[in-house]
A = this chain, B = another copy of it.
């Protein structure tokens, strides 16, 4: 059904998790996802959800963002982007700013750093919450 990388064993549970994430556009944390799966009749043990998410993330089949104290996952089939996080309602919006990405490389070079990843979180009030 899906070509899974060699490092990952295909299991129905992982497939369920992967499909669920790919089918949505949200940023899920483990508990939320477990609840959603349960609500849709596909209950999976919470420990397995945690492990499945970590495995899929490591295999590059889904992406993750560390938001404050919890890790959230989203589908990986979109290009790299960063996030705007509303501190009022929790909404998460995405953006891409090529120039910022490029300037990060420059900063790294100036500091003798070899970049392996980055995370830019912009906190604030979303349009809705500003007007509320």
Contacts and interface: CB of A to CB of B under 8 A. Distances in A.
A37 interface: no
A127 B111 contact: yes
Contacts of A99: 99, 103
B104 A126 contact: no
Given A69-B69, A126-B112, A107 B95 contact: yes
A38 interface: no
Say how many copies of this protein the assembly contains: 2
A114 interface: yes
A1 interface: no
Contacts of A55: none
Size category, A interface: 35 or more
Contact of A93 (B66, B113, B122): B113
A121 B108 CA distance: 11
A113 B126 contact: yes
Given A100-B100, A119-B121, A120-B120, A93 B114 contact: no
Interface of A: 66, 68-69, 84, 86-87, 93, 95, 97, 99-100, 103-104, 106-108, 110-127, 130
13 contacts: A66-B69, A84-B107, A93-B113, A95-B111, A97-B106, A104-B122, A113-B124, A113-B125, A114-B124, A114-B130, A118-B121, A118-B123, A120-B120
